[in-house]
Amino acid sequence: MIDAIDELHEPVADLAQRLESWLRTHVQVNAYASWCARKGFGTRWDDHDVIVVQVEGSKHWRLYGPTRIAPMHRDTAQPDPPPEQPIADLVLEPGDVLYLPRGW
């Protein structure tokens, strides 16, 4: 995992700046890689919107909907547990894009 890769690589910084202008919000680019079949993160949510771009390989996602409605930055309150069944169960392949609102 490399957080804030936009601060380390000029082409990614240019992309982040263009996205910031278009979306009118701060953009941070992180890179994640895995070479094994186990999951990288357990069930969780973020306090910010997330756009996932699958670059290589595939990634299985289970989406449960919001478990914390509109969390604020660095929100530490415990979210409600997700329902047993996801609202979406999908696999991202190279070139796929997934948008996750904060709290999902």
Query: What pLDDT sits at residue 62?
Result: 92
Side chain identity at residue 17, one-letter code:
Q
CA distance 94 to 54: 5
Only one residue has tokens 């380390």, namely 8
Averaged confidence pLDDT in the chain: 86
For residues 37 and 30, give the distance between their C-alpha atoms in angstroms, rounded to a whole number: 20
- Which is higher by pLDDT, 33 or 52? 52
> Does residue 7 sit in helix, strand or coil?
helix
Looking at residue 70, its pLDDT comes to 74
* 35-81 pLDDT, tens digit each: 777 666 777 778 888 999 999 999 999 998 887 777 777 777 777 78
Q: Which of 71-75, 81-85, 98-102 has the highest mean pLDDT?
A: 98-102
The contacts of residue 54 (CB under 8 Å, 6+ apart) are 92, 93, 94, 95, 96, 97, 98
